[in-house]
Amino acid sequence: MKERTPLVTHIFTADPSAHVFGGKIYVYPSHDIPHDGEDDDEGGEYIMEDYHVLSLDSLDSECVDNGEALHMRDVPWVGRQMWAPDCAYRDGKYYLYFPAKDKEGIFRIGAAMSGSPAGPFIAEKEPIRWSMSIDPAVLADDDGRFYMYNGGLWGGQLERWQTGEYVPDPPASDPDSPAPGPFFAELADNMISFKEKPKTVTILDENGSPLKAGDEDRRFFEGPWMHKYKGIYYLSYSTGTTHYICYATGTDPAGPFTYRGRILEPVIGWTTHHSIVEIDGRWYLFYHDCELSGGINHRRCVKYTELFYNDDGTIRTIFPYD
């Protein structure tokens, strides 16, 4: 087992969405391209252009890079920056969901299909109607319904959609106002459209009040992920500026969710992004850091570590370098 070591080192990978399909482990990361440009608050340093699917027969086996699964040149609507993806399976087909800026520089969510979990994937010619912002994550619920969660502040443009329309230069948020949450939408039966316009998920504090925009230790920033454990929905996400992976729980996939604590303490590098998956009856956190590159923010590597629950359903905090 290569716990807490990079899955691959020949390319830089980040934002891992891990799944078990057909008894194998598949990881859908973004692909960092090395360059000498400067970092900025809009994420301009993350210039990713394609996706590679990683796979493992087991956590004890070598990780395989299955090659290019989708490139921006094959997606007519994409202008640049294909960021963190996810994948879902239904009725013999695999659906890759990915964010990218369109020709006008607005982030949308695209969908692509394949008969294989490793791809290659064929993308739809247009983004999903009503889609906006970044970081799609799809929950396949126990009743056969599929839900997408997505969104990200700053470079992910979430603040620009708070009126329901895209506002290029929104006013600064009031730290005492409710924090914007991720978007939530049920996927239609065709898996490439929404049943209705996405709604905003609310995350509450221990007193039942929405988390405040200024509560940077707990409020949502980006990278939502949803999983279920013993019938409870666990919404986990990055706090961005404070670099934690936190989580909130609820009994309805649409929320609201109540903040419960931290899953992962800060890693090397500015961003932190994760997924949670059950493998052979045990739970694992897949995440990234910049250890492989010595701390260069846009040269990241994907890792994993085991995740543990307490008897009351809370998650034990992981210290990535202990």
The model's pLDDT over 79-129, given as tens digits with 9 standing for 90+, comes to 999 999 999 999 999 999 999 999 999 999 999 999 999 999 999 999 999
SS3 state of residue 72: helix
How far is Cα 301 from Cα 5, in angstroms, rounded to an integer? 9
Phi, psi of 74 (to 5 degrees): -100, 10
pTM of the model: 0.98
Q: What angle do CA 35, 39, 40 make, to 5 degrees?
A: 140
Q: What would the two tokens of residue 155 be?
A: 């470079």
pLDDT tens string 143-178: 999 999 999 999 999 999 999 999 999 998 899 999
Is 42 one of the annotated active-site residues of the chain? Answer: no
Active site residue 217: no
**Domain coordinates of the chain in residue numbers?**
12-307
Task: Assess whether pLDDT exceeds 90 at residue 5.
Answer: yes
Strands (E), 205-300: 222-229, 232-238, 245-250, 257-264, 274-279, 282-289
Report the share of the chain in percent with pLDDT over 70.
100
Pick the CATH number of 12-307 from 2.130.10.10, 3.30.70.260, 2.115.10.20, 3.90.1640.20: 2.115.10.20
Instruction: Please state, in angstroms and as integers, the Cα–Cα distance from residue 160 to each residue in 132, 166, 169, 218, following that order.
Output: 10, 5, 7, 21
Mean pLDDT, range 298-306, rounded to an integer: 98
Tokens matching residue 140: 């396949």
Residue indicated by tokens 């879902």:
88
Give the integer Cα–Cα distance in Å for 95 and 149.
15
Point out the catalytic residue in the list 15, 32, 159, 289. 15
Residue 259, SS3? strand
From the CB of residue 274, how many other CB atoms can be counted at a distance below 10 Å? 26
Minimal CA–CA distance to 91: which of 194, 189, 228, 226? Answer: 189
What is the predicted pLDDT for the residue at 137? 98
Among the listed residues 32, 45, 135, 222, the single catalytic one is: 222
> How many DSSP H helices and E strands does the chain contain?
0, 21
Residues in the chain: 322
pLDDT of amino acid 1 = 60
